[in-house]
Chains A and B, each alone.
Chain A
Amino acid sequence: LAKTTQPISMDSYEGQEVNITCSHNNIATNDYITWYQQFPSQGPRFIIQGYKTKVTNEVASLFIPADRKSSTLSLPRVSLSDTAVYYCLVGAYSGGGADGLTFGKGTHLIIQP
C-alpha cells in the first residue's frame, strides 16, 4: 500500500497561490494520484487526478515529478472558502479488491483575509 505523508496544516491569505505537497515514496506502477477536499460534516469532493507530469483543470493544478514519489496540488488565488482539509490518495483498483484506499491525515488549509 502506498502510504502518503502531507503537512498537517498550512496557512495562507486570500489571493495567494497555495501549494500542498504529498509524499508517496512507495507508489506502485499502476497507482494514480487523486486529491480531495473535505469541509466539516461533508463527504470529500474530487479536485484533480493525475498519473505523471502535470494536470490542470478549472480549479487546480497537479504537478508530479518523473519519479512519482511526490505530488503537489496547486490552488491559484485562494479564497476564504478554500479553507478545508485536503487529502491525497494514491492507489489503484484491481479486480475484486481496492488497493491503496488509505487516506492519510490530510492537510488542514486555513485561509485568512
Chain B
Amino acid sequence: GAVVSQHPSWVICKSGTSVKIECRSLDFQATTMFWYRQFPKQSLMLMATSNEGSKATYEQGVEKDKFLINHASLTLSTLTVTSAHPEDSSFYICSALGGQGKWGNQPQHFGDGTRLSIL
C-alpha cells in the first residue's frame, strides 16, 4: 500500500521550454504533497508544500512563478518548471501524505523521482 507514482521518470528538453511533472497517489488520498529537488551527491531540499484545493506554500528562495504547483485533486499534484534553463537540471522528487491531521505519525511516501536535464 501507499504507492506514489511520478511521471515522467526522465526528461530531456531544450532551454526555454516548460516541463510538467506529475505525482499521483495510487492507493490513497493525499491531502498534502511535497516537492523536493536533489542535486548530485546532495540531500533532498524541500521546494514547496502542496495542499489539495489551495495554493502551494513555497520554501524561501524557491521562485513560485518558475515552479508552478497544482494540486487539483486528492490523488494528483503537478510541478511545472517554466522556461527551464540548464541550472534547473536536477532530480525532482514528490512525496505524499495521506489522511488528516499530523504527518508526524503518517510517514511521507515518495515517488521515484524525475531526472530533468535541460540542454
Interface residues of A (CB under 8 A from B): 30-32, 34, 36, 41-46, 49, 51, 87, 91-94, 96-98, 101-106
Pick the residue among B4, B32, B115 that contacts A93 (CB under 8 A).
Answer: B32
Q: How large is the interface on B (under 10, 10 to 19, 20 to 34, 35 or more residues)?
A: 20 to 34
Pick the residue among B43, B54, B97 that contacts A106 (CB under 8 A).
Answer: B43
Total number of A-B contacts with CB less than 8 angstroms? Answer: 71
Give A90 Cβ to nearest chain B Cβ, in Å: 10
B102 touches A92 (CB 8 A): yes
- Select the residue from B93, B95, B105, B109 with max chain A CB neighbours within 10 A: B105
Contacts of A42 in B (CB 8 A): 112-113
B95 touches A93 (CB 8 A): no
Contacts of A91 in B (CB 8 A): 103-104
Contacts of A105 in B (CB 8 A): 43
Interface residues of B (CB under 8 A from A): 4, 6, 32, 34, 36, 43-46, 49, 51, 54, 57, 91, 93-95, 97, 101-105, 107-113, 115
Give B117 Cβ to nearest chain A Cβ, in Å: 13
User: In the assembly, what is the distance between CA of A104 and CA of B45, in Å?
Assistant: 9
- Select the residue from A87, A97, A101 with max chain B CB neighbours within 10 A: A101
Give A26 Cβ to nearest chain B Cβ, in Å: 16
- Report the 7 A-B pairs with minimum CB-CB distance, sorted nearest first: A93-B103, A43-B110, A32-B104, A92-B104, A103-B44, A103-B43, A46-B107
Give A38 Cβ to nearest chain B Cβ, in Å: 8
Pick the residue among B6, B44, B102 that contacts A44 (CB under 8 A).
Answer: B44
